[in-house]
């Protein structure tokens, strides 16, 4: 006897969720604007034979990358400063998504062999950025030392030392580089969840931001999205 064949329901074209849609469109944007640069930076870093520290180019950070790129596109800064250049992935996203960038200043302690060569390569990819500079050293010293009265930035990204003391000093020292509309993005900081539930590497940046807010130095300007793991702030 033939087995009775069950009629299968036709497979419907799976509808993409909003999340998937935005992911897809972000990926398209990335491919057009920055994808190959992120890959090149990773390859260059790996070629030094050492481990590459965590960065915004990693596949699992696609939401964070998308939100970061969005912020750059919307805010369109003419000047961008970053503490924690590492292999240059977040800088590449910032530079690719800012249409009128003229000044770019990066700080890094320089313990990884790929920091300087990656910076030089990235700089060459953006010849329209008139002033691009990397300052090597501990940011708690180099950021105050580099400051000049008129050196202000539209956007400051803090992603260097994750110990509370360093992250807090970075927040304090960056105030001199901010004008009244500067946005500050603090990486690995989510204020709207139970702090105990956060992974250990986020404790320092979270505590530092809470302290800066409690002291009236800064305020949050929009929600730190849980899936993006960064918080946007401005100085008061």
Judged by CB under 6 A, the residue of 42, 86, 97, 118 near ligand SAM is 86
- How many residues belong to the site for ligand SAM (CB under 6 A)? 21
Closer residue to ligand SAM (CB): 110 or 213: 110
46 part of the interface to ligand SAM, by CB under 6 A: no
What is the 3-state secondary structure of 91-116? HHHHHHHCCCCCEEEEEECCCCCCHH
160 binds ligand SAM (CB under 6 A): yes
Is residue 45 within the footprint of ligand SAM (CB under 6 A)?
A: no
Decide if residue 38 touches ligand SAM (CB under 6 A). no
Contact region for ligand SAM (CB under 6 A) — 10-18, 49-57, 147-155, 203-211?
49-57
Q: Does 161 bind ligand SAM (CB under 6 A)?
A: yes
Q: 213: exposed, middle or buried (C-beta count within 10 Å: 0-12, 13-18, 19+)?
A: middle
Which of residues 154 and 159 has its CB atom nearest to ligand SAM in the complex?
159
Nearest residue to 169 via CA among 228, 106, 220, 217: 217
Whole-angstrom Cα distance, residue 108 to residue 173?
A: 15
Interface residue with ligand SAM, options 30, 66, 94, 108 (CB under 6 A): 108
Sheet strands side by side (includes 218-222):
131-136, 103-108, 79-83, 153-158, 178-187, 230-235, 218-222
Give the Å distances, CA to CA, from 48 to 2, 115, 129, 223: 64, 10, 27, 38
Residues near ligand SAM (CB under 6 A) are: 53-56, 83-84, 86, 89-90, 107-109, 111-112, 138-140, 159-161, 166
């Amino acid at each position: 006897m033939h087995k009775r064949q069950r009629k299968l329901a036709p497979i419907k074209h799976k509808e993409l969720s909003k999340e998937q849609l935005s992911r897809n469109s972000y990926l398209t944007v990335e491919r057009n604007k920055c994808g190959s640069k992120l890959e090149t930076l990773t390859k260059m870093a790996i070629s030094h034979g050492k481990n590459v520290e965590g960065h915004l180019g990693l596949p699992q950070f696609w939401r964070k990358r998308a939100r970061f790129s969005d912020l750059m596109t919307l805010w369109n800064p003419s000047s961008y400063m970053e503490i924690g250049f590492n292999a240059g992935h977040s800088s590449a996203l910032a530079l690719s998504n800012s249409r009128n960038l003229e000044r770019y200043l990066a700080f890094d302690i320089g313990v990884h062999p790929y920091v300087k060569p990656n910076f030089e390569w990235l700089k060459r990819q953006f010849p329209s950025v008139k002033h691009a500079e990397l300052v090597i050293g501990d940011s708690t010293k180099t950021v105050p030392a580099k400051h000049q009265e008129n050196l202000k930035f539209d956007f400051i990204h803090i992603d260097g030392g994750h110990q509370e003391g360093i992250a807090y000093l970075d927040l304090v020292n960056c105030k001199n580089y901010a004008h009244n509309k500067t946005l500050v993005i603090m990486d690995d900081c989510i204020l709207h969840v139970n702090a105990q539930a956060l992974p250990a590497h986020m404790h320092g940046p979270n505590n530092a931001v809470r302290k800066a807010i409690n002291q009236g130095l800064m305020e949050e300007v929009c929600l730190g999205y849980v899936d993006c793991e960064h918080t946007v702030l401005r100085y008061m």
